[in-house]
């Protein structure tokens, strides 16, 4: 469950990074992978038919979040946050972008993680922030070991999500408690209610 929250927390962008200990201070520098590797890794979580035309966000050489590739389908891919230890890449339906982008904006402005959803939920309620009116998918990969030649993480674990704003166990017939190997509802009754599809690890 925390693995999924990492995405919403970081709205990560995929890149393969190299951590190098520098100087005598022990400080670490991050070297970002090429745009080609970032794109390849970012779309690796998607079903094959969606990969070639997805929009991909990643980091430039100075670490700024930028659009690496403008796509023509409905998927937006975000790459791994190089400040996090665990590889994590995700792609989601474009109808979720206002909610996801607002989360990134709030965190960048210094809003504490435990307040981000409070703000977003209030904005959804007021009509300022729009959520999808239909189910919307998200595909994710976590962990594994990054292949430096490709930027793709081997043995990464999948997690699939379907957002249905306001959904509950009663409206879907799904459990509201975590259930490995079977679907369940996370954040039931809230704007970011979603069906968790967690394959057995």
Quote the pTM value: 0.82
Least confident piece of the model among 27-36, 88-97, 117-126, 134-143: 27-36
- pLDDT at position 27 is 46
Mean pLDDT of 113-124: 96
Residue 1 has pLDDT above 60, yes or no: no
Using one digit for the tens of pLDDT, what is the confidence trace for 76-87?
A: 999 887 777 889
Distance separating the N- and C-terminal Cα atoms of the chain? 13
Average pLDDT over residues 9-15: 34
47: nearest Cα among 144, 136, 160, 155: 160
Contact, 173 vs 146, CB < 8 A?
no
Q: What is the mean pLDDT of residues 40-44?
A: 94
Exposure pattern of 66-99 as b/e (b: 16+ CB <10 Å)?
eebbebeeebbbbbbbbeeeebbbbbbbbbbebb
16 against 29, higher pLDDT? 29
pLDDT at 28: 59
Please indicate whether residue 64 or residue 23 has the higher confidence score (pLDDT): 64
Q: How confident is the model at residue 24 (pLDDT cuts 50, 70, 90)?
A: very low
- The residue among 15 and 60 whose pLDDT is bigger is 60
pLDDT at 157 (0 to 100): 92
List the chain domain ranges.
2-18+29-160
Q: pLDDT over 70 for what percent of the chain?
A: 85
């Amino acid at each position: 469950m925390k693995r999924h929250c990492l995405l919403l927390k970081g709205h990560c962008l995929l890149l393969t990074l190299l951590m190098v200990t520098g100087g005598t201070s022990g400080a670490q520098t991050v070297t970002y992978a090429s745009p080609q590797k970032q794109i390849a890794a970012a779309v690796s979580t998607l079903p094959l038919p969606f990969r070639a035309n997805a929009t991909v966000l990643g980091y430039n050489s100075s670490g700024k979040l930028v659009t690496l590739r403008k796509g023509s389908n409905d998927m937006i891919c975000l790459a791994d946050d190089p400040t996090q230890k665990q590889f994590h890449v995700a792609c989601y339906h474009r109808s979720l972008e206002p909610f996801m982008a607002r989360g990134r904006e709030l965190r960048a402005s210094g809003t504490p993680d435990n307040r981000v959803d409070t703000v977003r939920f209030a904005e959804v309620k007021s009509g300022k922030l729009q959520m999808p009116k239909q189910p919307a998918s998200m595909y994710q990969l976590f962990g594994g070991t990054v292949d430096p030649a490709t930027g793709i993480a081997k043995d990464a674990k999948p997690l699939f999500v379907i957002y249905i704003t306001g959904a509950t166990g009663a409206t879907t017939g799904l459990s509201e408690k975590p259930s490995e190997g079977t679907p369940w509802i996370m954040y039931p009754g809230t704007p970011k209610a979603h069906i968790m599809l967690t394959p057995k690890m």
